[in-house]
Structure 1
Amino acid sequence: MSEKTTLGNFFEDFRVGQSIAHATPRTITEGDVALYTALTASRFPITSADTFAHTLGFLRAPVSDMLAFNMVFGKTVPDISLNAVANLGYAAGRFGQPVYPGDTLTADSTVIGVKENSDRKTGIVYVRSRGINQRGQLALEYCRWVMVRKRDPASAAPEPVVPELPDAVATTDLLLPVGLRAEQYDCALAGSVDLWDDYQVGERIDHVDGMTIEESEHMMATRLYQNTARVHFNQHAEKTGRFGRRIIYGGHVISLARAISFNGLGNAFSIAAINGGRHVSPAFAGDTVYAWSEVLDKLSLPGRNDLGALRLRTIAAKDHRCTDFPYRLADGHYDPSVLLDFDYTVLMPKRLEGTPSP
């Protein structure tokens, strides 16, 4: 085989402290935003209308947080997870500078841990990845760990290093956009009267709506993010694989769950942090995604009386309405319908003094 092509990195190719600059900077366009909206039906007003975004102090409607995340994630795939068996989890994710159409994102990763599995055929690789805009500002960062195949099962394994990652991003570590304000927040235009004050820790919200994933849509989404993992787009290769068909990119499932969550969390206008997450089981074309969320914590932001944060757990389930909140069974295993267990922090306006409750 010509040395001009690459088969991607295998477990043996990673070492702790290794820095990887990912190829192909991406200028995000209004066309990308329109296509993302078409693929997810996301209807949060801050990413839908410049006029609404202006009232919160943004220059214009920013790009959806999950669109920015997926664009950066896609850059990392050829170097990190082209030979992955599974993406196992996320932690320590933060969103920084808002991303606007016209901004260019580049991505880099640092290897922060490696650990060979007992079968000696695979290992776990831990990385911290960043998306940086054209001004050198941090747009987002996150940690993830992925199970990667070894090129040669007989090759020597590096000393295991497993990083300590926080259970959640601390409130003091959240990166709020400069100039963000919520005094003029318009609940009528937002489509929800429920603000930060109206949610309670432990409350569960059935988001009601379901969305069926079409084959063409998930293929288009994977291409939009330039995600080259063959498990998502190469049916010729995957017909002899573990499932016999392509699986849906997990980031697309997160995006669908976030879009569905609008019904019940319509004023959660921005994702500030990804605390943790797990793709519990694969999704396939034809599956219908439902979602529900639990309020894990209510967080006050230092010096802010206009804005608070909610720590949420959103569960996405396939072909299972969420009226009974499917999660874990009595034996501790996940309900068979569960696709995603996602722990994240959102920003939400507070009820200002004199504003009536719903």
Structure 2
Amino acid sequence: MAKTNPGRFFEDYQLGQVIDHAVPRTIKMGERALYHALYPARHALHSSDAFAQSCGLPFSPLDDLVTFHTVFGKTVPDVSLNAVANLGYAEGRWITPLWPGDTITATSEVIGLKENSNGKTGVVWVRTTGRNQHGETLLSYVRWVMVRKHHLDVPAPETVIPDLKPALEVGDLVIPEGLDFTGYDFALAGEPHRLGDYEVGETIDHVDGVTVEEAEHMMATRLWQNTAKVHFDATFRPDGQRLIYGGHVISMARALSFNGLANAQMIVGLNGGAHANPCFSGQTIKAWSQVLDKAETDRPGVGAIRLRLVATKGGAPFELKGEDGKYLSDVLLDLDYWALMPV
């Protein structure tokens, strides 16, 4: 009997199947230090206990993308070990902050299946939930991946494509208990811009760039216990290159967005996202954002801003798709998310 895990193939998934992912992971300040070393992350709420306490929180929560990466990494051996591509995200909601010392577990439910016309691959939709040691939901999101078939003669399953929201509404967002921006210190946060200073449709060039190196992206991917072969094994791809984990690009772009969006403090919703083109070592990531929507909330001084975050390989800002509707070759990431900002 085989002792090793070859990963699931498309024919191994069934609608309604629930997968409990290994291995529980306790997150402490070491993960924060590594996160801030790997990315130029410096949003004040995730950097300072004193700043977080001035905003009504007991202390500084871990960066929201630490939660995402840790939960995502747990799903890889069960969901995307044999994936051809990670196709998209939807309905992502951060429910409970991740505090130092919390232990994360994750489960996924298969909510959609569709075999591709070539009969060699299929698309699997899963809703993944990450929880803390108290059973409270930290994060829930849907993603869909294209997965290889192992036995091509296995009949195609009934096609079920889930009906997903194109975007979350403000009422869908969960704001951390006690968060209060009425005493917000803009000088310490790094920029004076509040929600009212941004206009829907406005674009922001984040100016800065970071060149990706082999060692750092592999260290980051190991940090999240992501075991996907394409990120480590140079023999796995025909071109002999290690593919940069898409989440590494997300975190790099989010960190770069500080310059112009320093007060977009917490990510609370993920509306959608696409990894438009592969990223490889030696490429320089730059980023720009577009304001898609904004709203006030029922919490004192707290507003919500919906942003499109685009990462590029140094391409011209504010250019996204060609006349054919396809992403330009310089575009790496197109991410649509909600963040909290002082009004």
Given the two structures, how large is their TM-score scaled by the length of structure 1?
0.94
Q: Is the 8 A contact 1:326 1:337 kept in 2?
A: no
Distance 1:280 1:242 in 2: 20
Distance 1:292 1:234 in 2: 31
Q: Which runs of 5+ in 2 are unaligned?
A: none
Residue 166 of structure 2 corresponds to residue 204 of structure 1: no
CA deviation vs aligned residue, 1:97-143 (integer Å, no higher than 9, x gap): 11011110100000000000000000000000011001111110100
Q: Which residue of 1 aligns with 2:341?
A: 348
Distance 1:145 1:221 in 2: 22
Q: How does 1:82-93 map to 2 (within 5 A)?
A: 82-93=81-92
Residue 66 of structure 2 corresponds to residue 62 of structure 1: no
Q: Is the 8 A contact 1:208 1:321 kept in 2?
A: no
One-letter amino acid of the structure 2 residue matched with residue 253 of structure 1: V
Q: Which residue of 1 aligns with 2:159?
A: 160
CA deviation vs aligned residue, 1:192-247 (integer Å, no higher than 9, x gap): 10000100000000000001111000000010000000000112x32xx2432110
Residue 315 of structure 2 corresponds to residue 316 of structure 1: no
Distance 2:294 2:31 in 1: 33
Given the two structures, how large is their TM-score scaled by the length of structure 2?
0.98
Report the 3-state secondary structure (helix = DSSP H, G, I; strand = E; otherwise coil) of the residue aligned with 1:216.
Answer: helix
Report the 3-state secondary structure (helix = DSSP H, G, I; strand = E; otherwise coil) of the residue aligned with 1:23.
Answer: strand
What is the identity percentage for the equivalent residue pairs of Structure 1 and Structure 2?
Answer: 55
Q: How does 1:118-197 map to 2 (within 5 A)?
A: 118-197=117-196
Q: Which residue of 2 aligns with 1:95?
A: 94
Report the 3-state secondary structure (helix = DSSP H, G, I; strand = E; otherwise coil) of the residue aligned with 1:194.
Answer: coil
One-letter amino acid of the structure 2 residue matched with residue 320 of structure 1: G
Distance 1:183 1:14 in 2: 49
Report the 3-state secondary structure (helix = DSSP H, G, I; strand = E; otherwise coil) of the residue aligned with 1:283.
Answer: coil
Q: How does 1:199-348 map to 2 (within 5 A)?
A: 199-235=198-234, 237-238=235-236, 241-301=237-297, 303-322=298-317, 325-348=318-341
Q: Is the 8 A contact 2:296 2:304 kept in 1?
A: yes
Distance 1:76 1:83 in 2: 12
Runs (4+) off by over 3 Å: none
Q: Which runs of 5+ in 1 are unaligned?
A: 351-358
Q: Which residue of 2 aligns with 1:355?
A: none
Distance 1:192 1:319 in 2: 25
Residue 38 of structure 2 corresponds to residue 45 of structure 1: no
Q: Is the 8 A contact 1:317 1:326 kept in 2?
A: no
Report the 3-state secondary structure (helix = DSSP H, G, I; strand = E; otherwise coil) of the residue aligned with 1:210.
Answer: strand
One-letter amino acid of the structure 2 residue matched with residue 328 of structure 1: K
Distance 2:16 2:323 in 1: 41
Measured after TM superposition, the shift of residue 288 of structure 1 is 0.4
Q: Is the 8 A contact 1:66 1:255 kept in 2?
A: yes
Report the 3-state secondary structure (helix = DSSP H, G, I; strand = E; otherwise coil) of the residue aligned with 2:259.
Answer: coil
One-letter amino acid of the structure 2 residue matched with residue 348 of structure 1: M
Q: How does 1:107-118 map to 2 (within 5 A)?
A: 107-118=106-117
Q: Is the 8 A contact 2:182 2:300 kept in 1?
A: no
CA deviation vs aligned residue, 1:137-159 (integer Å, no higher than 9, x gap): 11101000000000111111110
Measured after TM superposition, the shift of residue 319 of structure 1 is 2.9
Q: Is the 8 A contact 1:11 1:122 kept in 2?
A: yes
Q: Which residue of 2 aligns with 1:353?
A: none
CA deviation vs aligned residue, 1:240-286 (integer Å, no higher than 9, x gap): x2432110000110000100000000000000100000000000011
CA deviation vs aligned residue, 1:164-183 (integer Å, no higher than 9, x gap): 10011121111111111111
Q: Is the 8 A contact 1:290 1:321 kept in 2?
A: no
Residue 28 of structure 2 corresponds to residue 35 of structure 1: no
Distance 1:315 1:41 in 2: 17
CA-atom RMSD in angstroms: 1.0
Q: Which residue of 2 aligns with 1:354?
A: none
Distance 1:55 1:186 in 2: 8
Distance 1:205 1:128 in 2: 32
Measured after TM superposition, the shift of residue 290 of structure 1 is 0.3
Distance 1:26 1:206 in 2: 36
